[in-house]
Amino acid sequence: MNQLHVRQGGHIRESAGDRAFQAVIIVMSVLLMIVVAYPLYFTVIASFSKPEDVLLGRVLFWPRNISFESYQMVIAEQSIWMGYGNTLIYTVLGTLINLALTTMIAYPLSCKETPFRGPITFIASFTMLFSGGLIPTYLLVRSLGMYNTIWAMLLPTGITTYNMLVMKNFFQSSIPAELKEAAHLDGCNDFQTLFRVVLPLSGSIIAVMVLFYAVAHWNEYFNALIYLKDRARMPLQVILREILLQNQELAAGDGTGLYEKMMAAETMKYAIIIVASVPVICLYPLVQKHFVKGVMVGAIKG
Amino acid sequence: MSVRSVPKASWTRRFRKHVLGHWQLLALLAVPLAWYIIFCYVPMFGVQVAFKDYKARLGIWDSPWSNPLFRHFSRYFSSYYAWSTIWNTLAINLGCLAIGFPAPIILALVLNEINSIRFRKVLQNITYVPYFLSIVVVVSMLKLFCDQRYGVINILLQALGMKAIPLMESERYFRPLYVISNVWQNMGWNAIIYIAALAGVDAALYEAATVDGASRWQKIVHVSVPCILPTIVTMFILRIGQLMTIGFEKALLMQNDLNIGTSEIISTLVYKNGIQKGDYSYATAVGLMNSVVNLILIVTANTVCRRTLDQSLW
């Protein structure tokens, strides 16, 4: 595409229309950039500014009186660290379970020689069209005795069918069938083929699956809301909801007056948003280079 | 292959070769398959609660059938809020469809036309960021920005000489806020699939169009869009199938007493009646109605697309 545009500029003279078009594209993309980035940018500068300046509207485009007051308050807030710890546990264990379960079904479904492949693919895919819904699932989790245990956070979200199909498509399109045949001829059984031949070549799809599942676990709040009871087990998102949306009273610093306290509690919210979101946002760049290879293949063919 | 004409001995031999020969693949499948049956199919049978009067001590299977059988459904449809919750659900989703569906396509087309690779990468990556934020965080940002006294939106409005508006606490602004924040959060991520499709377009097509004297706009209309049309149709069918599902967690978080008139959707109703009040049968009935409508929608969309565009999911 790009080479083409260069050539266009060189050999065939760009028409006035095309130049106007180029201008429109530039204006649109800059506008898009501002609209998407500004809320993020504002959250960052607000978290680093003095509470008073943020609330009086003096912080719009630039941080003022840079202070770490908000962050100090976040660090002092016990419940956030408790939530952080719980979320880390749920994310790591949950993602491991997801990876194991998803691979265990995606790989056999990608092999032509798997018996009953058609019906099993149907059983899995049908769940994307119809589900029992919230209440039957809730009653099931309760009757399995998982209510208010860590299992309620790990098992009901065990497989995301869409992710499973993306992985299956990756196995089908990116692992040459000849390679698996060669492995079989060399005496590998199906397990050995998977672990010694297929998985070592599947780094990119595994990275993408880690991204998908880990982000989902990190951001999960609803399952915790309905399946957990003890506050000590609550993940970060539930704690965030209490602080950010339900305006729970905070021990807001050692501010002198009520007014300062209230202001500090308001801007602390920006800092909380940053602290809670940075880990997942950092995950993407790590996975990015695998992303194109892993997901595009699976998503387009699927 | 007709099984009947094959002698029995050969059938067992084939069974041995094809099924037992790959017992390891089946062994791998066993645990995930059990997961699907327990966590997806058992709840599907659990929807019978909708036709029963659920008693906790009797459980799902032993609770008595309700009389009449569709009692919980008629309770819903005769309630004063039935049609308003259905309309609210549809309105939010139609809004998201009308704006949220074309937005990533337009973004992908714009990105595709940006000449500077560097700028394109930057823009693309920035539009991904909101996708990674949790719904709790996005709603909190909305709430902070929309605050009547301290929110940045109202500060800007006042700077322009307008009056501050209690955006989050009004029925009127619930839907626009919902739709706009949804587009903001998902546009970049949803564009990925279109960007990938555009990257796969044969460069020769563009060259041929250039030789024929097509302007860049004409190349978009006559080359880019037709080439990604199959992807658009697939995404459209999938999206239609979710016409009454998405948005539950966000609506619940954005909801307050002052915007309840537009923010009460079917799924928030299910949550309140089921989980909070313990009226399981009623909540399941309402949820089941929603799921069935969804199933009908996606099957219809798929059939229509197969007949008219020769494109379908299955």
**Residue B18 pLDDT more than 90?**
no
pLDDT in tens, B169-218: 888 899 999 999 999 999 998 898 898 888 888 889 999 998 988 888 89
Domain assignment of residue B58, yes or no:
no
Q: Note whether A139 contacts B280, CB cutoff 8 Å.
A: yes
Helix (H, G, I), strand (E, B) or coil at B213: coil
Mean pLDDT of A216-242: 92
* Nearest Cβ partner for B215 among A21, A36, A143: A21
Other CB atoms within 10 Å distance of the CB of residue B227: 16
Mean pLDDT of B302-314: 80
Q: Which residues in chain A are contacts of B155 at CB distance < 8 A? A: 57, 60
- Is-contact B255 B263, C-beta < 8 A? yes
Look at residues A171, A284, A157 and name the one whose alpha carbon lies nearest to residue A222.
A157
What is the predicted pLDDT for the residue at A9? 43
In a shared domain, residues B191 and B302: yes
- Is-contact B81 B282, C-beta < 8 A? no
Top pLDDT among B309 and A169 is at: A169
Q: Which two tokens stand for residue B237?
A: 């069918």
Other CB atoms within 10 Å distance of the CB of residue B21: 14
Residue with tokens 């990275």: A207
In a shared domain, residues B111 and B254: yes
In angstroms, the CA A175 to CA A163 distance is 18
In a shared domain, residues B110 and B27: no
In a shared domain, residues B46 and B173: no
* Nearest Cβ partner for A4 among B134, B206, B287: B206
In angstroms, the CA B252 to CA B260 distance is 10
Domain span holding position B26: 8-50
* Nearest Cβ partner for A18 among B18, B216, B295: B216
Q: Which residues in chain B are contacts of A277 at CB distance < 8 A? A: 132-134, 137
pLDDT in tens, A153-164: 999 999 999 899
Q: Note whether B140 contacts A108, CB cutoff 8 Å.
A: no
Interface test with A, best of B41, B123, B136 (most A CBs within 10 A): B136
Entry field: residues in chain B: 314
ipTM for this prediction: 0.87
Percent of chain A surpassing pLDDT 90: 40
Is residue B79 classed exposed, middle or buried when 0-12, 13-18 and 19+ CB atoms within 10 A define those classes? middle
- Is-contact A169 A300, C-beta < 8 A? no
Q: Note whether B43 contacts A245, CB cutoff 8 Å.
A: no
Residues in B 66-105 with any Cβ partner in A closer than 8 A: none
To the nearest whole number, what is the mean pLDDT of chain B? 87
CB pairs under 8 A between A and B: 270
Mean pLDDT of A228-243: 91
Q: Note whether B249 contacts A221, CB cutoff 8 Å.
A: yes
B11 touches chain A (CB under 8 A): no
What is the predicted pLDDT for the residue at A295? 63
Domain assignment of residue B285, yes or no:
yes
Tell me which long-range contacts B12-21 makes (C-beta under 8 A, separation of at least 24).
B18/A113, B18/A115, B19/A115
In angstroms, the CA A92 to CA B4 distance is 52
Top pLDDT among B45 and A5 is at: B45
Amino acid at A28: M
Q: Which residues in chain A are contacts of B231 at CB distance < 8 A? A: 300
Domain assignment of residue B62, yes or no:
no
pLDDT band per the 50, 70, 90 thresholds, residue A297: low
**Residue A21 pLDDT more than 50?**
yes
Phi-psi group of B152: left, alpha or beta (phi > 0 → left; psi -120 to 50 → alpha; rest → beta): alpha
Q: Could you tell me the domains of chain A? A: 76-240+291-301 (1.10.3720.10)
The helix (run of H) or strand (run of E) holding residue A170 is helix A161-174
What is the predicted pLDDT for the residue at A291? 75
Domain assignment of residue B63, yes or no:
no
Other CB atoms within 10 Å distance of the CB of residue B140: 24
pLDDT band per the 50, 70, 90 thresholds, residue A238: very high
pLDDT band per the 50, 70, 90 thresholds, residue B6: low
What is the predicted pLDDT for the residue at B8? 59
In a shared domain, residues B177 and B303: yes
Domain assignment of residue B65, yes or no:
no
**Residue A12 pLDDT more than 60?**
no
Percent of chain A surpassing pLDDT 70: 88
Q: Note whether A39 contacts B184, CB cutoff 8 Å.
A: yes
pLDDT in tens, A114-164: 888 999 999 999 998 888 888 999 999 999 999 999 999 999 999 999 899
Mean pLDDT check: name the lowest of A247-261, B89-103, B159-173: A247-261
Q: How far is CA A144 from CA A140, A156, A230, B186, in A?
A: 6, 11, 18, 35
Phi-psi group of A116: left, alpha or beta (phi > 0 → left; psi -120 to 50 → alpha; rest → beta): left
Q: Which residues in chain B are contacts of A218 at CB distance < 8 A? A: 134
pLDDT in tens, A262-284: 777 778 888 989 999 998 888 88
What is the predicted pLDDT for the residue at B62? 86
What is the predicted pLDDT for the residue at A144? 93
Instruction: Write the CATH number for B245.
Output: 1.10.3720.10
Domain assignment of residue B151, yes or no:
no
Q: Note whether B135 contacts A219, CB cutoff 8 Å.
A: yes
β partners of residue B65: B52
Instruction: Indicate the DSSP class of residue B21.
Output: G
Look at residues A89, A69, A86, A67 and name the one whose alpha carbon lies nearest to residue A78.
A86
- Is-contact A157 B68, C-beta < 8 A? no
Domain assignment of residue B74, yes or no:
no
Number of domains in chain B: 2
Peptide bond into B68 cis (omega under 30): yes
Q: Which two tokens stand for residue A284?
A: 């993407």
In angstroms, the CA A172 to CA A198 distance is 11
Mean pLDDT of A232-251: 80
Phi-psi group of B247: left, alpha or beta (phi > 0 → left; psi -120 to 50 → alpha; rest → beta): left
* Nearest Cβ partner for A124 among B28, B36, B284: B36
Residues in B 100-159 with any Cβ partner in A closer than 8 A: 107, 110-115, 117, 119, 122-123, 126-130, 132-137, 139-141, 143-145, 149-150, 152, 155-156, 158-159
DSSP assignments along B132-195, one per residue: HS-HHHHHHHHHHHH-TTT-HHHHHHHHTTPPP--STT-HHHHHHHHHHHHHHHHHHHHHHHHH
Q: Which residues in chain A are contacts of B26 at CB distance < 8 A? A: 108, 114-116
Domain assignment of residue B144, yes or no:
no
- Is-contact B296 B221, C-beta < 8 A? no
- The model's pTM is 0.88
What is the predicted pLDDT for the residue at A296? 63
In a shared domain, residues B108 and B223: yes
In a shared domain, residues B44 and B171: no
Dihedral sign (CA A263, A266, A272, A278): negative
In a shared domain, residues B32 and B170: no
Q: Note whether A113 contacts B22, CB cutoff 8 Å.
A: yes
Instruction: List the beta strands (DSSP E) in B221-281.
Output: none
* Nearest Cβ partner for B33 among A120, A135, A155: A120
**Residue A183 pLDDT more than 80?**
yes
Residues in B 220-259 with any Cβ partner in A closer than 8 A: 231, 241, 248-249, 252-253
In a shared domain, residues B247 and B98: yes
In a shared domain, residues B15 and B129: no
In a shared domain, residues B36 and B128: no
What is the predicted pLDDT for the residue at A248? 58
**Residue B7 pLDDT more than 60?**
no
pLDDT in tens, A39-86: 999 999 888 888 777 777 777 788 877 888 888 888 888 889 999 999
Q: Note whether B275 contacts A4, CB cutoff 8 Å.
A: no
β partners of residue B52: B65
Q: How far is A244 from chain B (nearest CA, A)?
A: 6
Residue with tokens 């979320």: A87
**Residue B1 pLDDT more than 70?**
no
In a shared domain, residues B28 and B175: no
